[in-house]
Amino acid sequence: MASIINQKLDGFYQQFLGEHHVVILINADPDAIGSAMAVKRLLWRKAASITIAHVNTIKRQDNLAMIRRLNIRLVPFSKIEIASFDRIVMVDSQPVHHELFTSIHPHVIIDHHPQSDIEATYMDIRPNYGATASILTEYLKAAKIKPSTKLATALYYGIKTDTSNFERQTIIEDVRAFQYLFKQANVQLAKKIDQSEMRPRYLKHFKNAIENKRFKKGWMFSHLGKVGSPDVCVMVADFFMRVDDVNWTVVSGIHGNKFIVIFRSDGLRRNAGKIACDSLGQFGSAGGHRNMARAEISLSDLKDQVNPENEKKVLNWIISRISQRRGGR
């Protein structure tokens, strides 16, 4: 195993020269942020400059708290000129995962999501891992780099969140990375970041979700209408999974010009990523893991199927689409 990781590290380092200006592109969440920080540390003194740029608007309170408390430097994608960089690195994402990524041709991709139809000079994609931060922790160990408290805390928190405290898909390598980081991370600081998740204005969406929920044979559905952030749908979906007899949650909302659908499952039966893709993939991007998945559809495409203004009909449409296709495993 050690020799394999060393070979991967060598292959990674071969993509860079000392005069290169490097940009690390992420769809910012704890796993992506921690992984990007690890790549930046790996390339310290091995590149002329290293910039971490995020394509999404960061609104979740825990993500903002992580950035603030760990003093992490991130730059919005809109503020950079991609042509000015010699090397493009993408971590915890692939070009098909975000519309702003689709025109990007990364030189390096390191990710734990299922591999899409992509090409890059160097790719390390391991969908069996619970977090990309676990993969980058192996790179650091292979490079004999002991992470600082700040970096260890970021990676620790990234693994913690993407595995949902090891309740989602993980393998022994995730556990080993977590144990290694635990000794060097500021665990109390990570706990403070974790407890910063909820904003008071999100509470109205929980009220709406409960009042408009539909429960059918272990499946909980709810459509929230317009939301200030897609993360509200994620939090409500996770919240409904705590309800007894709920094996699946499907929570949707409209943010900007996008229709967002979040899937959560207990992972015992069907594959959430497959159901998301089979039921909604023809209308936009969809996919994910066995326990969690996501679909995004532009409102213009949704209007061809159902009136987005009629929340009851939107919910009925989602239930119908999933009911027709949830036999896949």
Q: Which residues make up the CATH 3.10.310.40 domain(s) of the chain?
A: 202-325
Are 263 and 287 spatial neighbours (Cβ–Cβ below 8 Å)? no
Q: Is the pLDDT of residue 148 over 90?
A: yes
pLDDT at res. 201: 75
Q: What angle do CA 171, 177, 179 make, to 5 degrees?
A: 105
pLDDT of residue 271: 85
pLDDT recorded at residue 197: 62
What pLDDT shows up at residue 76? 95
Burial grade of 304 (CB within 10 A; 0-12, 13-18, 19 or more): exposed
Burial 123-147 (b: 16+ CB within 10 A, else e): bbbbeebbbbbbbbbbbbbbbeeeb
Classify domain 2-194 at the CATH class level: alpha beta
Provide φ and ψ at 58, rounded to 5°. -85, 110
Query: Rounded to the nearest 10 degrees, what angle do helices 149-162 and 172-182 cross at?
Result: 150
Q: CB under 8 Å to 139, separation ≥6 — which residues?
A: 5, 8, 9, 12, 38, 42
Answer whether residue 329 shows pLDDT above 70: no
Q: What is the pLDDT of residue 328?
A: 41
Residues forming CATH 3.90.1640.10 domain(s) in the chain:
2-194
19 or 235: whose pLDDT is higher? 19
Q: So what's the pLDDT on residue 198? A: 64
CA triple 134-137-141, angle to 5 deg = 145
Sheet of 292-298, strand order: 214-216, 219-226, 248-255, 258-265, 292-298, 285-288
SS (H, E, C) 123-185: EEECCCCCCHHHHHHHHHHHCCCCCCHHHHHHHHHHHHHHCCCCCCCCCHHHHHHHHHHHCCC
Please give the CATH topology (third level) of the domain spanning 202-325. Diaminopimelate Epimerase; Chain A, domain 1 (3.10.310)
40-80 pLDDT tens trace: 999 999 999 999 999 998 888 888 999 999 999 999 999 99
Q: Which two tokens stand for residue 2?
A: 């050690």
Question: Can you give the pLDDT at residue 146?
Answer: 97
Q: What is the pLDDT of residues 244-270, one digit of tens each?
A: 889 999 999 999 899 999 999 886 767
3-state secondary structure of 252: strand
pLDDT, tens digit, 9 for 90 and up, residues 83-134? 999 999 999 999 888 888 888 899 999 999 888 888 899 999 999 999 999 9
Does residue 186 carry a pLDDT above 90?
yes
pLDDT-above-70 percentage for the chain = 96
